Structure 1
Amino acid sequence: MSTTVGAFLAGGLAACGAVTATHPFETVKIRMQLQGELQSKGHQPHHYRGPVHGVGVILRNEGIRGMYRGLGTAYIYQILLNGCRLGFYDPMRKALGSVFLHNEKAQNLGINMFCGAFSGMMGAAAGSPFFLVKTRLQSYSPFLPVGTQHQYRNAVDGLTRIHRTEGVLGLYRGIGAAMIRTGFGSSVQLPTYFFAKRRLMRHAGMEEGPALHLASSAVSGFVVCCVMHPPDTIMSRLYNQNGNLYRGVFDCLGKTIRTEGFFAIYKGFLPHLARILPHTILTLSLAEQTNKLVRRFENHILPMAAV
């Protein structure tokens, strides 16, 4: 049995492996969410028209470095977010199962969704300053700027300048949107993963292994993207502004829909899907493997430490 610390480490390491592969699509997604911000439909630029086109445009103008802006902060954020989400989800689910169902192994959709949302919101709150800086680093382009531009040299420079000009509260700008976004996504990510896994084992005759993990992760990733994208767009805009455009989540939502139309909250959906499907597949599949490694390590070290 892995400890909560072990599960935290396993979840964080798995997410870092996934984000390395999917970071370019995250960059395209953020820029698509910000292009044409608060501009009427007829006056919106279309520098980035989709995941493949966006990657090509950034590579031609900014190279690999532009594609991977903010990767360091993405690692820190993923360790905090997915470490909390994957590390606290199962212990919390078992504890609530013991209290309410008198069986820690029993599966209950309501408990699963609550634990997923709560653990995700904990991670989002912990990692919010790093996601804020990541968003601003990724949105910056000296060639095709979109949204408010922030010319930070690196993550440390970004954090320092935000703290100096906006104070501690500036570092946590948009935290409400971040918690809503991640709560939505986390409430369905792990429950749909384990739901799909059980159904595939029961009805499709699949056995424990990489193929089962891959199929279950794909189902989970698609559902997460559909649920999470609108608050993700709002979060990107709140993070990227200096406080002069929006007062909060609902103000941003209202202004975006009134000015750009309802489907503006779905800007960047395809690159988001292109990112989140492989990201979810890699995170959850790697988590299965990293959990096994952590358990092996703990089973070897913890008994020795107890002697």
Structure 2
Amino acid sequence: MATTMGAFIAGGIAACGAVTATHPFETVKIRMQLQGELQDKGHQPHHYRGPFHGVSVIVRNEGIRGIYRGLGTAYIYQVLLNGCRLGFYEPMRKSLTSLIFRDEKVQSLGINMLCGASSGIIGAACGSPFFLVKTRLQSYSPFLPVGTQHKYRNAYDGLTQIYKGEGIKGLYRGVGAAMIRTGFGSSVQLPTYFFAKRRLVRHLGMEEGPALHLASSACSGFVVCVFMHPPDTIMSRLYNQNGNLYHGVFDCLAKTVKTEGFFAIYKGFLPHLARILPHTILTLSLAEQTNKLVRKVENRILPASMLTKAA
């Protein structure tokens, strides 16, 4: 086991590798969540009809640059979110398990879910301003606009404009929804991953390696998407508006369902699934490899006392 800082670094590197491959579907997901916002079903536009149609429409109108809007902020957010989530999960789990069961090796689903949610909430709170700017950058389109349009030159320009106009409160708009959304996802991601991993080893005889990591990650990714998508839609809408449409998480949820119907909170589900499955597979699979690399580096440069404490 790497140190907490080592696991933070390994998790961040793994997440950045994953987001590079899956960012186009994230852009489509956000635009689908925002199209037809607070409009009756019969009057909603359908510029983006699915993951692959959305990618083709954006690339045709805006080029590769359009589909990769906000990638820089996505990297920063992923380092903070997944660094916290993957870096703090295991130390928190071990500490709490040792406190309750006097044995850190005991596996408790309740403790695993609590630690998964807690580590994710910490990461979401740290990275919320960057996700806010990322959402606004990705939703901007000079050709087929959806939602509120924000013309930022880059991440720094976006952060500066928000801070000058709305202060710290503006930078943390929607943080409550982000914490709920990430708490939902994180509470099931790592516990489901490790649960699937143990079952695959026990019942199918799979051995430690890339195939086991891929299968476990795929199971985890699907469960995460099912649980996380409704609060993800609410978060996207809160991030994208200037405070004039919604007053909070429950106000946004109520207005969305009342105006657009219940399934409006599942807008963009398919591109979300198309993003989150490979993203989860890549993040968790790469995390296994980057953790091994970080451990090797730590073994060379850190004193034995620190390594023993982290083990």
TM-score (norm 1): 0.99
State the partner residue of 1:103: 103
State the partner residue of 2:145: 145
Q: Deviations over 1:30-87 (max 9, x none)?
A: 0000000000000000000000000000000000000000000000000000000000
Residue 190 in 1 paired to residue 190 in 2? yes
Q: In structure 2, what is the Cα distance between the partners aligned to 1:304 and 1:108?
A: 30
Q: Deviations over 1:163-216 (max 9, x none)?
A: 011111000000000000000000000000000000000001100000000000
Q: In structure 2, what is the Cα distance between the partners aligned to 1:158 and 1:286?
A: 31
Q: In structure 1, what is the Cα distance between the partners aligned to 2:89 and 2:189?
A: 11
Residue 41 in 1 paired to residue 41 in 2? yes
Q: Which runs of 5+ in 2 are unaligned?
A: 307-311
State the partner residue of 1:206: 206
State the partner residue of 2:133: 133
Q: After the TM superposition, which residues 56-205 of structure 1 pair with which residues of structure 2 at under 5 Å, given as runs?
A: 56-205=56-205
Q: In structure 2, what is the Cα distance between the partners aligned to 1:305 and 1:215?
A: 36
State the partner residue of 2:274: 274
Shift of 1:305: 11
Query: SS of 1:36's equivalent?
Result: coil
Q: Deviations over 1:93-141 (max 9, x none)?
A: 0001110011111100000000000000000000000000000000000
Report the residue type matching 2:163 in the other structure: H
Report the residue type matching 1:111 in the other structure: I
Shift of 1:303: 3.2
Q: In structure 2, what is the Cα distance between the partners aligned to 1:105 and 1:246?
A: 45
Q: After the TM superposition, which residues 221-300 of structure 1 pair with which residues of structure 2 at under 5 Å, given as runs?
A: 221-300=221-300
Q: In structure 1, what is the Cα distance between the partners aligned to 2:73 and 2:305?
A: 34
RMSD of aligned residue pairs (Cα, Å): 1.0
CA 1:304–1:93 in structure 2 vs 1: closer, same or farther (change >3 Å)? closer
Q: In structure 2, what is the Cα distance between the partners aligned to 1:302 and 1:176?
A: 38
Identity of paired residues, percent?
A: 84
Report the residue type matching 1:22 in the other structure: T
Report the residue type matching 2:181 in the other structure: R
State the partner residue of 1:24: 24
Q: In structure 2, what is the Cα distance between the partners aligned to 1:102 and 1:290?
A: 30
Q: Which runs of 5+ in 1 are unaligned?
A: none
Shift of 1:245: 0.1
Query: SS of 1:46's equivalent?
Result: coil
Q: In structure 2, what is the Cα distance between the partners aligned to 1:41 and 1:97?
A: 49
Q: In structure 2, what is the Cα distance between the partners aligned to 1:13 and 1:105?
A: 27
Q: Deviations over 1:259-295 (max 9, x none)?
A: 0000000000000000000000000000000000000
State the partner residue of 1:8: 8
